[in-house]
Amino acid sequence: MAVSEVELDVLTGKYKFLRADIIHDVGRSINKKIDIGQVEGAFIQGVGWVTNEEMKYDEKGNLLNHSPDTYKIPGVNDIPVIFNVHLLEGAPQPKTIRRSKAVGEPPFMLAFSTWLAIKDAVSAVADHRIEPEFSIPATHEKILLSIDKLKRESCEI
Protein backbone atom coordinates (compact mmCIF):
# COMPACT_ATOMS: atom_id res chain seq x y z
CA MET A 1 0.00 0.00 0.00
CA ALA A 2 1.28 3.45 -0.84
CA VAL A 3 -0.13 6.94 -0.46
CA SER A 4 1.59 9.94 -2.04
CA GLU A 5 1.09 13.66 -1.55
CA VAL A 6 2.22 16.32 -4.01
CA GLU A 7 1.95 20.07 -4.39
CA LEU A 8 1.40 21.23 -7.96
CA ASP A 9 2.31 24.57 -9.54
CA VAL A 10 -0.38 25.00 -12.20
CA LEU A 11 1.62 27.73 -13.98
CA THR A 12 4.77 25.66 -14.57
CA GLY A 13 3.55 22.06 -14.37
CA LYS A 14 6.18 21.34 -11.74
CA TYR A 15 5.28 19.50 -8.60
CA LYS A 16 6.89 19.03 -5.23
CA PHE A 17 6.79 15.50 -3.86
CA LEU A 18 5.77 16.21 -0.27
CA ARG A 19 5.19 12.77 1.20
CA ALA A 20 4.98 9.05 0.58
CA ASP A 21 3.77 6.50 3.11
CA ILE A 22 4.29 2.84 2.25
CA ILE A 23 3.46 -0.42 4.00
CA HIS A 24 4.82 -3.39 2.09
CA ASP A 25 4.24 -7.08 2.72
CA VAL A 26 7.50 -9.07 2.64
CA GLY A 27 6.18 -11.97 4.68
CA ARG A 28 8.63 -12.57 7.51
CA SER A 29 11.56 -10.27 6.80
CA ILE A 30 14.98 -11.92 6.74
CA ASN A 31 16.74 -8.54 7.02
CA LYS A 32 14.49 -5.54 7.68
CA LYS A 33 17.04 -2.89 6.67
CA ILE A 34 17.75 -4.56 3.33
CA ASP A 35 14.03 -5.09 2.68
CA ILE A 36 13.22 -1.44 3.46
CA GLY A 37 16.06 -0.35 1.15
CA GLN A 38 14.66 -2.56 -1.60
CA VAL A 39 11.19 -1.05 -1.16
CA GLU A 40 12.58 2.50 -1.21
CA GLY A 41 14.71 1.85 -4.29
CA ALA A 42 11.99 0.11 -6.28
CA PHE A 43 9.47 2.81 -5.37
CA ILE A 44 11.74 5.66 -6.50
CA GLN A 45 12.57 3.76 -9.69
CA GLY A 46 8.81 3.51 -10.27
CA VAL A 47 8.40 7.22 -9.54
CA GLY A 48 10.86 7.91 -12.36
CA TRP A 49 8.85 5.69 -14.68
CA VAL A 50 5.53 7.43 -13.93
CA THR A 51 6.84 11.02 -13.82
CA ASN A 52 9.82 11.83 -16.00
CA GLU A 53 11.24 8.88 -17.93
CA GLU A 54 9.82 9.81 -21.31
CA MET A 55 11.01 7.72 -24.23
CA LYS A 56 11.20 9.53 -27.57
CA TYR A 57 11.40 7.92 -31.00
CA ASP A 58 12.04 9.21 -34.49
CA GLU A 59 9.73 8.54 -37.45
CA LYS A 60 11.47 5.21 -38.12
CA GLY A 61 10.96 4.00 -34.56
CA ASN A 62 14.55 4.52 -33.43
CA LEU A 63 14.96 5.44 -29.78
CA LEU A 64 16.28 9.01 -29.54
CA ASN A 65 17.01 9.25 -25.83
CA HIS A 66 19.36 6.38 -25.11
CA SER A 67 21.81 7.77 -22.57
CA PRO A 68 21.86 9.76 -19.31
CA ASP A 69 22.28 13.04 -21.20
CA THR A 70 18.97 12.54 -23.07
CA TYR A 71 16.96 10.45 -20.60
CA LYS A 72 15.99 11.72 -17.13
CA ILE A 73 16.20 9.11 -14.38
CA PRO A 74 15.23 9.81 -10.75
CA GLY A 75 17.66 11.78 -8.66
CA VAL A 76 17.86 12.92 -5.07
CA ASN A 77 15.31 15.71 -5.74
CA ASP A 78 12.72 13.11 -6.79
CA ILE A 79 12.60 11.58 -3.30
CA PRO A 80 9.64 12.79 -1.23
CA VAL A 81 10.38 15.26 1.57
CA ILE A 82 8.77 12.83 4.04
CA PHE A 83 9.36 9.20 3.09
CA ASN A 84 7.92 6.58 5.44
CA VAL A 85 8.42 2.91 4.62
CA HIS A 86 7.20 0.17 6.94
CA LEU A 87 7.04 -3.57 6.55
CA LEU A 88 3.76 -5.34 7.28
CA GLU A 89 4.11 -7.28 10.52
CA GLY A 90 2.58 -10.64 11.34
CA ALA A 91 2.04 -11.86 7.79
CA PRO A 92 4.50 -14.73 7.27
CA GLN A 93 4.27 -16.55 3.96
CA PRO A 94 3.79 -20.27 4.58
CA LYS A 95 5.54 -22.72 2.27
CA THR A 96 8.45 -20.40 1.44
CA ILE A 97 12.03 -20.27 2.66
CA ARG A 98 11.98 -18.66 6.11
CA ARG A 99 8.39 -17.55 5.36
CA SER A 100 9.52 -14.49 3.41
CA LYS A 101 8.28 -12.98 0.14
CA ALA A 102 9.96 -11.36 -2.83
CA VAL A 103 10.72 -7.70 -2.27
CA GLY A 104 12.92 -6.61 -5.21
CA GLU A 105 10.54 -5.40 -7.92
CA PRO A 106 6.98 -5.52 -6.49
CA PRO A 107 7.23 -2.08 -4.78
CA PHE A 108 7.91 -0.57 -8.22
CA MET A 109 4.16 -0.57 -8.88
CA LEU A 110 3.45 1.40 -5.70
CA ALA A 111 4.65 4.47 -7.61
CA PHE A 112 1.23 4.65 -9.24
CA SER A 113 0.23 6.45 -6.04
CA THR A 114 2.50 9.33 -7.07
CA TRP A 115 1.11 9.48 -10.60
CA LEU A 116 -2.43 9.40 -9.21
CA ALA A 117 -1.60 12.17 -6.70
CA ILE A 118 -0.39 14.37 -9.57
CA LYS A 119 -3.46 13.47 -11.63
CA ASP A 120 -5.72 14.35 -8.70
CA ALA A 121 -3.95 17.71 -8.29
CA VAL A 122 -4.48 18.39 -12.01
CA SER A 123 -8.14 17.39 -11.66
CA ALA A 124 -8.55 20.01 -8.92
CA VAL A 125 -8.12 22.70 -11.59
CA ALA A 126 -11.68 21.88 -12.72
CA ASP A 127 -12.95 21.13 -9.19
CA HIS A 128 -12.76 17.40 -9.97
CA ARG A 129 -15.76 17.72 -12.32
CA ILE A 130 -13.80 16.53 -15.37
CA GLU A 131 -11.53 13.50 -15.62
CA PRO A 132 -8.19 14.84 -16.89
CA GLU A 133 -6.56 13.38 -19.97
CA PHE A 134 -3.34 12.19 -18.39
CA SER A 135 -0.78 9.64 -19.48
CA ILE A 136 2.43 8.15 -18.14
CA PRO A 137 4.94 9.66 -17.66
CA ALA A 138 3.53 12.80 -16.02
CA THR A 139 6.13 15.18 -17.41
CA HIS A 140 5.83 18.92 -16.76
CA GLU A 141 4.74 19.35 -20.38
CA LYS A 142 1.97 16.73 -20.10
CA ILE A 143 0.82 18.26 -16.83
CA LEU A 144 0.55 21.72 -18.41
CA LEU A 145 -1.23 20.40 -21.49
CA SER A 146 -3.71 18.55 -19.28
CA ILE A 147 -4.31 21.66 -17.15
CA ASP A 148 -4.84 23.78 -20.26
CA LYS A 149 -7.35 21.30 -21.67
CA LEU A 150 -9.23 21.15 -18.34
CA LYS A 151 -9.46 24.92 -18.20
CA ARG A 152 -10.91 25.04 -21.74
CA GLU A 153 -13.36 22.20 -21.04
CA SER A 154 -14.52 23.66 -17.73
CA CYS A 155 -15.40 26.94 -19.49
CA GLU A 156 -17.64 24.94 -21.85
CA ILE A 157 -19.60 23.33 -19.03
Looking only at Cα atoms, what is the longest distance across the chain? Answer: 60
Q: In Å, what is the CA distance from 75 to each residue of 27, 48, 62, 156?
A: 30, 9, 26, 40
Helix, strand, coil % in the chain, rounded to nearest 5: 40, 15, 40
Q: Is 105 a catalytic residue?
A: yes
What's the Rg (C-alpha) of the chain?
18
Among residues 66, 72, 22, 80, the alpha carbon closest in space to that of 51 is found at: 72
**Choice among 7, 89, 105, 141 that is catalytic:** 105
| φ and ψ of 73, to 5 deg | -100, 165
> Known catalytic residues?
105
